[in-house]
Structure 1
Amino acid sequence: MQAISPSPSTALKSLFSDHYKPLSRSSKPFHPNNWTPTGFIVQCVYRPDSGSEGSGSGSGSTRRSDWQSSCSILASKVVSQQRNTETTGNTEITAVNGHKTLDLVPISNLPKPLTIADLSPAPMHGSQLRVAYQGVPGAYSEAAAGKAYPNCEAIPCDQFEVAFQAVELWIADRAVLPIENSLGGSIHRNYDLLLRHRLHIVGEVQLPVHHCLLALPGVRKEYLTRVISHPQALAQCELTLTKLGLNVAREAVDDTAGAAEYVAANNLRDTAAIASARAADLYGMEILADGIQDDSSNVTRFVMLAREPIIPRTDRPFKTSIVFAHDKGTSVLFKVLSAFAFRNISLTKIESRPHRNRPIRLVDDENDGTAKHFEYLFYVDFEASMADVRAQNALSEVQEFTSFLRVLGSFPMDMTPWCPSRSDSL
Structure 2
Amino acid sequence: MAAILSSHPPNQASVRAAATNPSSHPAHQLTLSSRPALPLRPRTRFPCVQCIYRPDFSGKGAIGSNRADWLSTCAILSSKVAVSKKQEETDKPVPGDGDSNKGVSGDEAGGKLSPVVSAVNGHISGSATLDLVPICNLPKALTISDLSPAPMHGSQLRVAYQGVPGAYSEAAAGRAYPNCEAIPCDQFEVAFQAVELWIADRAVLPVENSLGGSIHRNYDLLLRHRLHIVGEVQLPVHHCLLCLPGVRKEYLTRVISHPQALAQCEHTLTNLGLNVAREAFDDTAAAAEYVATNGLRDTAAIASSRAAELYGLQILADGIQDDSGNVTRFVMLAREPIIPRTDRPFKTSIVFAHDREGTSLLFKVLSAFAFRDISLTKIESRPHRNRPIRLVDDANVGTAKHFEYLFYLDFEASMAETRAQNALAEIQEFTSFLRVLGSYPMDMTPWNAPSSPSSASSPSPPL
TM above 0.5, yes or no, is: yes
Work out the CA distance in 2 between the residues paired with 1:326 and 1:272: 47
Match of 1:8 in 2: none
User: For 1:172, which of 193, 197, 200 is the aligned residue?
Assistant: 200
CA contact (8 A) 1:127 1:153 kept: no
User: For 1:282, which of 307, 310, 317 is the aligned residue?
Assistant: 310
For 1:188-239, what per-residue CA distance to the aligned partner results, in whole angstroms no more than 9, with x for missing partners? Answer: 0000000000000000000000000000011100010000000000000001
- The 5 A counterparts of 1:246-261 are 246-261=274-289
User: Unaligned 5+ residue runs, structure 2?
Assistant: 1-133, 458-463
Match of 1:305 in 2: 333
Does residue 213 of the first structure (1) align with residue 241 of the second (2)? Answer: yes
- The 5 A counterparts of 1:3-22 are none
Instruction: Kindly state the Cα deviation for residue 366 of structure 1 after the two structures are TM-superposed.
Output: 3.2
Match of 2:386 in 1: 357
Match of 1:382 in 2: 411
Work out the CA distance in 2 between the residues paired with 1:340 and 1:317: 17
Instruction: Kindly state the Cα deviation for residue 118 of structure 1 after the two structures are TM-superposed.
Output: 4.2
Paired letter, 2:446: P
- The 5 A counterparts of 1:36-115 are 114-115=143-144
Does residue 392 of the first structure (1) align with residue 421 of the second (2)? Answer: yes
Work out the CA distance in 2 between the residues paired with 1:273 and 1:191: 27
Match of 1:47 in 2: none
3-state secondary structure, aligned to 1:201: strand
Q: Taking CA–CA contacts closer than 8 Å with sequence separation of 6 or more, which of the two structures ends up with the larger relative contact order?
A: 1
Does residue 425 of the first structure (1) align with residue 456 of the second (2)? Answer: yes
User: Unaligned 5+ residue runs, structure 1?
Assistant: 1-104
CA contact (8 A) 1:418 1:424 kept: no
Paired letter, 2:370: A
Instruction: Kindly state the Cα deviation for residue 423 of structure 1 after the two structures are TM-superposed.
Output: 3.0
Work out the CA distance in 1 between the residues paired with 2:140 and 2:449: 53
Paired letter, 2:245: P
CA contact (8 A) 1:161 1:193 kept: yes
Work out the CA distance in 2 between the residues paired with 1:383 and 1:127: 27
Work out the CA distance in 1 between the residues paired with 2:253 and 2:356: 51
Work out the CA distance in 1 between the residues paired with 2:154 and 2:141: 25
Work out the CA distance in 2 between the residues paired with 1:274 and 1:335: 44
Q: Which runs of 4+ in 1 moved over 4 A?
A: 109-113
Does residue 370 of the first structure (1) align with residue 412 of the second (2)? Answer: no
For 1:56-99, what per-residue CA distance to the aligned partner results, in whole angstroms no more than 9, with x for missing partners? Answer: xxxxxxxxxxxxxxxxxxxxxxxxxxxxxxxxxxxxxxxxxxxx
Match of 1:328 in 2: 356
| Cα distance change on mapping 1:172 and 1:111 into 2, 3 Å | closer
Q: How many residues align?
A: 320
3-state secondary structure, aligned to 2:194: helix
Work out the CA distance in 2 between the residues paired with 1:265 and 1:259: 10
Paired letter, 2:331: V
For 1:351-399, what per-residue CA distance to the aligned partner results, in whole angstroms no more than 9, with x for missing partners? Answer: 0011111111101113141111100000000000000000000000000
Match of 1:77 in 2: none
| Cα distance change on mapping 1:424 and 1:390 into 2, 3 Å | farther
Work out the CA distance in 2 between the residues paired with 1:412 and 1:283: 36
| Cα distance change on mapping 1:274 and 1:113 into 2, 3 Å | closer
3-state secondary structure, aligned to 1:202: strand
3-state secondary structure, aligned to 2:429: helix
Identity %: 87
Work out the CA distance in 2 between the residues paired with 1:126 and 1:320: 21
Which of 352-361 and 315-324 deviates more?
Answer: 352-361
Match of 1:413 in 2: 442
Work out the CA distance in 2 between the residues paired with 1:423 and 1:416: 18
Match of 2:174 in 1: 146
3-state secondary structure, aligned to 1:269: coil
Match of 2:161 in 1: 133
For 1:260-314, what per-residue CA distance to the aligned partner results, in whole angstroms no more than 9, with x for missing partners? Answer: 0011111111000000000000001000000000000000000000000000001
| Cα distance change on mapping 1:287 and 1:376 into 2, 3 Å | same
For 1:5-55, what per-residue CA distance to the aligned partner results, in whole angstroms no more than 9, with x for missing partners? Answer: xxxxxxxxxxxxxxxxxxxxxxxxxxxxxxxxxxxxxxxxxxxxxxxxxxx
3-state secondary structure, aligned to 2:274: coil
TM score, norm. by length of structure 2:
0.67
